[in-house]
Structure formats: structure tokens, C-alpha cells
Chains A and B, each alone.
Chain A
């Protein structure tokens, strides 16, 4: 990884970097797929000649705007790479050779006197595929039985939603879902009187968790590329809200031996259940 970054630094391009947890036996995408995608602008490293063994002098092709050059690159023992020389060989048209900058292309397309054609693309995807995302929640909590108070000491959601598109955003989605799950388990319920009139339809009496009620949320992702998703991705928007309430309910069962049949497991309901079970 250092080595690859080093080359990229020297020839001014972005390396491909990604770390993720992969279940045993799964494969990374082949380099060809990436090469095909970068048709215009930027740069890419064609290391199809590289068998990955350090210490060898390997040929790399790279190009910047307007030039396609080939470099000899040599591994150094300290893990860095040194560019020995520009071999002077200019490659012929190769996949990704720059003919024209995007800006020039666009200007031409708009304003050409004999061939003006605005470059657009419109596509409808009629999706006829589907698959499943999955995951789980584990929680470690304590119950102050005389007060019916639940304190979450540790909680994690583990998600398999395929390849992550944006890890930070993905994590944020999970945090939000976990907080909804906690409220669902412990405090949220809309109450009505016998005539069907709502009793607590306001933000004071309908108890969603506040920042002070939330433990540290831990999240892990297992990224298995899914063949159905456009980038190997699957559902993530909703799943985080699913497994949390059952996990909390089951942890209370483990802690106290009390099988709660209803959520939310409010303090009042817990105290009543503990009294009935002879625990307080």
C-alpha cells in the first residue's frame, strides 16, 4: 500500500485505496473493471504487467492531461518506490488515452457551427432484481430493578449491506437507526384514551431518546459485493432500526429471567414485572 501510494504521489494521481472486512473466500474486483471506467481525465495505473513481487523493476503506464508516458519503476528496500526514468516510449491509443479535455469537448459540442450536439444521457432502470441484506445487534446492559431503569453499557450493530458507497454516511445511517431502535424498545408509544383521543401527541410526552439517553454506538460492516447492486451495494437505509429492540428485550431476559412480551419496556412495566417475579 505504501509503495502504491508512493508511485501515485510521484506521478500525481489518486491511488485506489479501500480497506474492508471480507468473509473468507471472497475476491476483490479485477483491475480491468476499474481501468475501463476511467475513460476521460485523471490518470490510472496500468499495472497488469506487475506480478507484485517487490524488488523488481516494473513498467507502469500513466498519463496526465495531454501526455501518455511509460515509466520504469523500481522497488526500494524501505518499501518506497523510485521512478528510474521515463522510458521515452509514448504509447499508442490505449484504453483511456486522452484525446481531448472534457472542457474542449463540451465547448465544441455546444458551439460547433457544423456539428452542435448537446451531450446528455438519459436512462431508465426498470429493476427486476432484488436480494436480502442482513445483520444483527448485540447489546450488554444493566437493569436497576427497583427503579426499572435500563442502562446500555455496550451495543453494536453488524451489517452486511454489500459494498459501502460512503462509509461515513453509512455509519451515520446506522447510528440513527440504532437510536430509533432504543426508543422503540424502551420509551416510545402513542397512547389513547378509551374514546380514541390521543393523549401524548407532543414532543414532551411522546418519549424519543435525547442525546443524553444514547450510549456510544458501535458499527461494523461486512462488505460482500453483491452481484445485484450497481456497485455491489444492498439496502442500508432501513435495516439499522430492526434488530435493536429485540436485542435489548433479550438482554433483559438474560439479566433478570423476565420474559417481556410487550415493547416498549417502560420503567413502569419493568417494575411491575420485577415485582410479579419476586425480584423486588
Chain B
């Protein structure tokens, strides 16, 4: 291959290194108004009254909207392609501004002013009265008997969704254990149980979440946003406002990272609403770093109550896990991450008798959890690999050997039909072990004394590409030949810093034969002109969009 497989310099390198590249906030017009969100100071309760009279007197204030002024429409925010089946649609559980407060910092009002200082001064003067309920920020508190259901219109308690996965329908851990005792004898078995936990964390993408919006002379609301999902954002804005999709336009310039936080629709619908409320004037809504960390999305904190059984010879017999994730105040990506987490925990190892993994997504009065790099699998890997090593420690097994013998095997087919075609997990382990000098170090570090101790450890994973077959995978690409024999490549797949623009250019060049310097990829996605794609997530773009660009498809069409 000529271009694919080569380390071309990123097509956006120069602009980004010199600072010339334009991000959302670099494009804001001079007369743009600035907005600031007013947030709740309680975690659970209801706004009973908002007094904006003092705030309105601040010089420079243009408009203040409250949770009582927004359309009574609940909408979903997840960066998922829409489903035409009602049962699979993302749960619509929030409005543009919320009177029912379910997290500290929930969005209850917004101030629009001529500059950010005026907006901040006014925001501090907005007076709010609450009816306060007990906060239930932890999984345990939210599941305790008598805990207030946070979304009674959707769920009767705080279990958002509970799914149960088993390697076979009749598998039961206790029965498997009995079987093992009969087959091997109790003294020849190793069992480990424990509760393992992972934290809630933030993506900390370098560019904050920010957008600006205006209504053009033809009545179309345009939102320029740092988003991973321009087309989905457009659809959600239309749902949130009750506007037809054709009257909404979203533009994504360069963005400074997302890692999944921007794979949700965040402040864009509110931004659009504020512009409309100000007669179509340009309004910028930039979230501060602190707001990004605590009031956008986070990685799900998870708790795994796990058990595992093995023989004294190092054969993994059975495991089970009850995994709880802290969903926070709203659904966002729904149960998808928990489901993926539980399935992955089950699938990464091969249990001779079987494995059961139950997943519970739990609503709590805390920050909303959503998509973050690897979508539930970092938690799954922590659970699976920690349990594995604890079994090895108890049984005296070498963790590398144990994994070689008990990990997911070649030819694995998942319950939804996805097949592990090109399998090299064991080869990967072998290479890693060689590099780290595993065998030597396991011996060398065996009997240490003193305050400083050394150790070697390992972790493994498997990860599917994109979201098929759980969800729709679709992407379009368009190429246009210029008068000088160069081509424009338009995708709606988004460059979020991962290098998508560069590899798509390479693919286009590879298939058409047109050299890289004659391939122009349009980095800005504008829903008015870019073809449809669901966005940058699930490590899907080079896989899914790549197929639109490559042999047998677009580039070949162009070649013919």
C-alpha cells in the first residue's frame, strides 16, 4: 500500500501547533452576547420560586430565562443514532432547564448579557427558593428501601435498567460450585470473593465545552459547537425545541478533544433556546472548566461484587458478578455502558462451567455519567483482571500462564453474533511478557524485604469496534474532483484530535491513487452540507467511515 500504513504528518499539524487553527471560541463574532447558567445549590429537590428582579438590574443584562420559561418537552441527550423502535430509543428524562433538581449544580436558569462579567454578576443575584429533599448521591443510598425514585414518570425505583447475562441459560454459580466440589473435591478448589470499586472521573479534554448560536434571516437556528456528534446534536436540538430538523444547523470546527464527553448533547439545545429568546441574536455559552468537570458527563463509578472459582491446577471454572454503576441524575447514554461492562467482564475469560454477570444502572443525585473512552470496558477490565490475579495469588498460579490457559479463546463468537476473526490476544501477551522480562522478574521479586518493593503485573482486554449490532452503524462520504485533478473529501466523521482527518486522507489517496498533497479533507462538519454520520465514538470511524471511503465504494466510484 502506498499511503495507508505510512506515518504521514497530521494534515492539521501546522495549524494546531502554531495556534492558527480555529476552534469554536475563535470564531465568535465581536457583538456576541455571553450567557451564564444558574445552577442549583442543592442535590435533590424542587425549585419553588425564582426571583430575577435584582439580577435584571445589572447593567448589560439582556435576558434571563428560568426553568419555568422553557418548553415542557423532555428529551434524551445521548450520542446514539436514533432508533425507529420505541423500545430501543434513548430515554428522554430532562428539559432545557429543570425545576425538579436532581444533582448539585443542576441547570435551573440562564442569564444572557453583553459580556461575561455582567452575566456572572447577574447570575450571582438570581434568588432561588427550594423545596429540599434528602440527597441520595451513592448507589447504596439510592437503592435503600424507601429511597425517593428520582424519575417516577419513567421508573418506579432508582434502578434505571437491570440486565442479566449468562454464558448459558441454565448456569448458576452455586450449582456450578457444587458440581465442582463433586468433580474435584473441595480441597482442590480455590475460591475468591470481593467487592471491587472504580471511581467517577472526568475526561479533562483540553478544550472546554462551548458553543455559540444565532438564528439566521431565514429562521434557521445555527449552533457552532465543540461536539463529537454534529448530526446527532442537530436532531436533539430539534427534539428539545420542538423544531423541525431542517430548521436546525450545527457546525463543528476544530475541537480540542472530547473523549466521549462531547458524545452527548450538552449545552447546545439551551444555547439555541437562548438565542431564540433574544430574538435570534448571537449568544455564546461557554462552560467553565469546573462546570465541565462536574456538570457535563463523567465516567461511571462502578461497584462489582465478584466471585471466582478455580481448580488447584489453575483451571478457571466459574465466575459471577453483580455490577452496579452510578448513573447520576439523568440517563444520558442509558444502560449501554453498564451492559457493555457486564458482557465484557463475562467474555474476556473463559469459564469452564460458565459465568453470570448482572448489571444495574442506578439513578442517584449526583453528576451524570455518560460515555468516556472505552465505554465501560476499563471498569470491566479492572474487575476481571483483579479477580483473576486475586485467584492466582491465592492459588499460587502465575498470572500470565493462568491467562494464557483461561482467557477468551480464538474463534470466539459473542452472543450477539460478533466474531473474533483476527485473534492475537495470546501473541500480544507473549510479546508483552518478553518485553518486561516477566519470568525473570517474577522470580527476582519473589522474596523482598525493606521499604521499597518491586513488582510486575499485567492486564488484558478485548474491545469491539463500533456499535453494530446493538445500534445503527452508518456513515457517508462524498468526494469531488477539482479542476486541477485534486479531490475534496467531505465526511461527517469528526476529527476530535485523534487524527481522523489524516487517516481518511490516506485512505482516499490509497484508493484513488491521487497523492496526499492533492487530497483536501474538509475538517469542519456543517450539517447543512456534510453527509450524515453518527460521530466520533466507539473507535468506529476508521472502521465504518473508512469503508465508505475505500475500495469497492466511494473512491472506486470516483476512479471509474
Interface residues of A (CB under 8 A from B): 14, 16, 18, 21, 23, 29, 34, 37-42, 101-107, 109-110, 118-146, 153-154, 156-160, 162-169, 172-173, 177, 180-181, 183-184, 188-190, 192, 194-198, 201-203, 206, 208, 218, 220, 222, 224-231, 233-239, 241-257, 259-264, 280
Contact = CB atoms under 8 A, between A and B. Distances in A.
A185 to B, nearest CB: 9
Contact of A198 (B105, B135, B389): B105
Contacts of B105: 198
Contacts of A124: 474-476, 531-532, 548
Contacts of B445: 254-255
A123 B543 contact: no
Given A173-B498, A261-B386, 7 more contacts: A121-B478, A124-B531, A132-B420, A134-B460, A138-B438, A169-B502, A237-B373
B104 A230 contact: no
B459 A125 contact: no
B395 interface: no
Given A139-B457, A251-B457, A254-B445, A231 B433 contact: no
B243 interface: no
B479 interface: yes
B204 A145 contact: no
Query: Helix, strand, loop or mixed for chain B's interface?
Result: mixed
B451 A146 contact: yes
B478 A122 contact: yes
Contact of A254 (B204, B455, B463): B455
Contact of A42 (B385, B513, B549): B513
B293, B425, B455, B546 — which one has the most chain A CB atoms within 10 A of its CB?
Answer: B455
Interface stretch (B56-64, B170-178, B189-197): B189-197
A203 B451 contact: no
A137 B196 CA distance: 20
Given A125-B548, A189-B201, A253-B389, A119 B480 contact: yes
A125 B429 contact: no
Interface residues of B, number: 139
A153 B184 CA distance: 41
B5, B135, B374, B389 — which one has the most chain A CB atoms within 10 A of its CB?
Answer: B5
Contacts of A189: 199-201
Interface string B242-261: 00000000000000000100
Given A16-B2, A189-B201, A121 B555 contact: yes
A106, A237, A254 — which one has the most chain B CB atoms within 10 A of its CB?
Answer: A237
Contacts of B465: 130-133, 228-229, 234-235
A154 to B, nearest CB: 6
Contacts of B512: 39-40
B478 A206 contact: no
A138 B435 contact: yes
Interface stretch (B6-14, B26-34, B72-80, B264-272): B6-14
A156 B436 contact: yes
A125 B103 CA distance: 40
Contact of A154 (B436, B466, B480): B436
A253 to B, nearest CB: 6
A161 to B, nearest CB: 8
Contacts of B486: 102
A122 B532 CA distance: 11
A225 B515 contact: no
B459 A166 contact: no
A243 B200 CA distance: 18
Interface stretch (B15-23, B108-116, B232-240, B375-383): B375-383
Contacts of A165: 4-5, 503, 506-507, 542, 546
Given A103-B485, A195-B104, A261-B196, A129 B468 contact: yes
Contacts of B104: 192, 195-198
21 contacts: A39-B513, A125-B547, A132-B463, A134-B428, A138-B435, A138-B457, A153-B454, A154-B435, A156-B436, A184-B198, A192-B137, A198-B294, A206-B293, A230-B547, A238-B377, A242-B377, A242-B459, A243-B381, A243-B460, A251-B455, A254-B457
A130 B464 contact: yes
B390 to A, nearest CB: 5
Contacts of B454: 140-143, 153, 255
Contact of B474 (A39, A125, A263): A125
Nearest to A33: B551
Contacts of B137: 192, 194-196
Contact of B389 (A42, A159, A190, A250): A250
B525 to A, nearest CB: 15
A202 B431 contact: no
B506 A131 contact: no
Nearest to A24: B427
Nearest to A146: B451
B453 A208 contact: no
Contacts of B201: 183-184, 188-190, 206
Nearest to A109: B481
Interface string B352-386: 00000000000001110000011101100110111
A76 B451 CA distance: 64
Contacts of B555: 121
A243 B513 CA distance: 38
Given A123-B548, A134-B428, A110 B483 contact: yes
